[in-house]
Structure 1
């Protein structure tokens, strides 16, 4: 039990969702379909703290449960097991496997065995897997609810904290059990893994919503949804330079710490290279910076940046710059937010690059508003903790109608820097400009943009051209 008087659930991230853990000497229901991780989570609960524990199993033999725990790296050696799973010896030619013997259908025989095990081990934590199996031992639903309520009261009166699993189906729901427990945790299958949701938690607040859950070495891990309002620190407002004088002039000194900047433009126009300059300048000041790459490899990013004169390898070697590849099809927004939080809160990162928004979109579940909602939470969190965020946003149009950002994310940005292709006298060229900057004024002219082996080069303001944003500008008469 921790200093807040809570019982550690033994599952990383679930303690955060439960605002510290389970309330002691109460009972909680763990609901979910087969394969969602209920038994694994129950084992983590039993092995999380000191004191005696009891696993009451109705379906799987104890030796199988122990073997599965060992394969996941869960040490269940000190857990006491009461194995109530069907015995293979009960099957013969005259009887089907799913028909219990006469003395087995009576609940008294089962409850007597449970009571003896509780008296013997005097457990502080009990996991029953699954509680719904008790339905087979009683006459009707009313008797089942009475048996469960009595069983739970018996355990909690003896000082145990109880977790029991259920396996609901359309024909046999578990709604009636929600009324006899103090909280309900639901595990579900999702497109990219599993999810966890707390539907009820008496005597405490909890983090609502659907959270990502994964089963890896060590068992289940939960990635809580990011709630920006829960995080805030004081920081000193200052200007962050790009390291390119002309670009800083466009921005009246640079971008500001604790703000969100969107670099917008079509593919190949130079957005990532521009972002790399901000990262390199930050790392050169011995401040931590990290690039999360959704769309290219770390080696390609490093090589391209080095080709423009940025000392990326040296900065990575010194530890002030980190470059991480993110596989969008293998990570959820909750997991990515957790990785960003670790970088900020444990590693001291002060500048974060997300390259790019198109790749990040693939990590979402497919609803139209998901990307706006998830990026809003992530960007607000970074603002609250004083981290400078840079988003690379790939717009679809190469020329033609001017497109500010994709997916309606422009409102998230404190600063928008756009890059644009233009065709001039049969030659494809590039332009850069600032569309908005909330924290200060900025230069409202467009400049020609070039990338050379010595870095970014910005030309003089393009005052003799009209219609640059259309992609097909016209020269003005002198």
Structure 2
């Protein structure tokens, strides 16, 4: 879990947990007791799930809790609970649904408008249940029924104010659910409620539905503003609070992490530094992922931990390919020194990915984090316009946590100076390691060079680079040629041949 937002106190006697840890984090610790709150969202956003989690948390503390439903039956609520594996024994559920005989013609009102009779009857039943049970937590599901029963906005607002006043003197925390089915967004309850949480869901052209929440109001408390991703799984809502790097000050001094390949470490001036990010760019197949695995293996052999997040290939393919180069990930995967998480861009939200990355640092104490690749990371974003902002916040957090981050960027094109990247993250990275193909004597060969490094001195040379069954080999500098980066080098001295 991330740190509390500035000014947010941990949950204490005056704060109630919602039953959703991530939501408590967003709210700065939880809900102030004995207040009225509004939870709004379209049907299917997860309002009932949050409400049940809120009441289950109270029931676990042996508090009397009450769920008042004006739209769903108790059987439907039990079905929701069964889908999550919950037991509703400690929750009093009271249905305020119209009886079956309400469909009979004789039961239809003729002298009075239905709202004039039904609203008063419903209110009396609710108040009687509250006075009998004396709950500390109450959920109303949903306000759309009360809005229709009220008939007009003035009567509806007065009814909500009366309910608020009624509960204020009874040491009770009230959660109102609104499915936002009104023709216009009603702000009446928002002005009355102590805090307002809105749940949103967005259906993309392809992939899973993206869900996010925002706290639009919370009187008297600091909370984490902005949108926060969440998902609904068996067991309830999982909220992923927005990552704020400024809340995580730097902790460790920069130290170099060698790769285990002497020539590569010489090229990098001793290795990559903790607390920095390194972008490895190049055409497909040049060995970018293999370099990242090499650094991870070296860290694991030193007794450190590495976390790999891969978008572009399966774990089985990665293990087979590395084994073919003499890099066996098996023992380190078994020991937990190296963890590999295969990411499906269509199913994972950026907030959940950031949550998993921070968990790798805080829970598994990873010293190296690999994101392979930025192309896959970009596809995991619902809106590309904010990718750089997300990435900047993430890299800042990892840097302040003393983690060495390796970013893999696949470029378009194969040779020459016309290589392009779909995402330019070179200015964010502290170091840029470039891999290139070039043609010589009827063969396609590879070269490696460091074009940027903020962490200290590094070689300016371009070295030969090969992948074989014996692993990664970095050769001597290619000094007798010019134009290697163009893809077609020209010998400086007659007869010179680039090393293999």
TM-score under structure 2 length normalisation = 0.91
231-240 or 381-390, which moves further after superposition? 231-240
The Cα shift of 1:106 comes to 4.2
Match of 1:107 in 2: 119
1:289 aligns to 2:306 (yes or no): yes
Task: Determine if contact 1:267/1:395 at 8 Å carries over to the other structure.
Answer: yes
Residues 155-174 of structure 1 mapped to structure 2, 5 A cutoff: 155-169=167-181, 171-174=183-186
Question: Quick one: which of 247, 268, 292 aligns to 1:251?
Answer: 268
Q: Deviations over 1:189-237 (max 9, x none)?
A: 1133321111111111111111112111111221112111122351132
Whole-Å Cα distance in 1 between the matches of residues 325 and 331 of structure 2?
14
1:23 equivalenced with 2:40 (yes/no)? no
1:339 and 2:356 aligned: yes
- For the 8 Å contact 1:294–1:355, the answer to whether it is kept is yes
2:465 is the alignment partner of 1:456: no
Q: How many residues align?
A: 476
For 2:138, the equivalent position in structure 1 comes to: 126
Distance in 2 (CA, whole Å) between partners of 1:475 and 1:316 is: 45
| Alpha-carbon distance change, 290 to 40 in structure 1, aligned in 2, over 3 angstroms | same
| Equivalent in 319, 340, 343 of residue 326 of structure 1 | 343
Q: Distance in 1 between matches of 2:199 and 2:79?
A: 22
Alpha-carbon spacing, 1:4–1:457, altered in 2? closer, same or farther (3 Å): farther
Q: Are 1:44 and 1:74, in contact at CA under 8 Å, matched by a contact in 2?
A: no
- Alignment of 1:185 with 2:206, yes or no, is no
**Within 2, Cα distance between the matches of 1:446 and 1:334?**
39
Decide which of 140, 150, 154 is 2:166's aligned counterpart.
154
Aligned to 1:135: 147
Aligned equivalents of 2:11 and 2:474: distance in 1?
58
Q: After superposition, give the CA deviation of every residue in 1:339-378 in whole Å (9 maximum; x if it has no partner).
A: 11111111221111111111111111033x2221221111
Provide, for residues 384-427 of structure 1, a one-character-per-residue CA deviation record: whole Å limited to 9, x for no partner. 11111111110112112254754121111111101001112322
CA positional deviation for 1:168:
1.9
Offset, 1:89: 2.6
Deviation string 1:421-471 (CA, Å, 9 cap, x unpaired) is 111232211110001100101000101110111111122211111111222
**Counterparts of 1:103 and 1:234, CA distance in 2:** 62
Which residue of 2 is the match for residue 12 of structure 1? 21
Aligned equivalents of 1:102, 1:466: Cα separation in 2: 89
Residue aligning to 1:410: 426
1:392 equivalent in structure 2? 408
From 472, 477, 488, the equivalent of 1:472 is 488
Residue 46 of structure 1 corresponds to which residue in structure 2?
55
- Indicate conservation of the 8 Å contact 2:450/2:459, yes or no: yes
- Residue 11 of structure 1 and its aligned partner are, at CA, apart by 1.3
Question: Unaligned 5+ residue runs, structure 1?
Answer: none
Which residues of 2 match residues 189-338 of structure 1 at below 5 A? 189-191=201-203, 192-338=209-355
Partner Cα distance (1:410, 1:206) in 2: 34
Asked if structure 2 preserves the Cα contact closer than 8 Å seen for 1:402 and 1:469, the reply is no
Of the structure 1 ranges 452-461 and 401-410, higher mean CA displacement relative to structure 2 is found in 401-410
100-109 or 351-360, which deviates more: 100-109
2:4 alignment counterpart: none
Q: Aligned-pair distance for 1:474?
A: 1.5
1:36 paired residue number: 45
CA RMSD of aligned residues (A): 2.1
Distance 1:333 1:193 in 2: 10
1:358 to 370, 375, 396: 375
Alpha-carbon contact 1:156-1:162 (below 8 Å) kept:
no
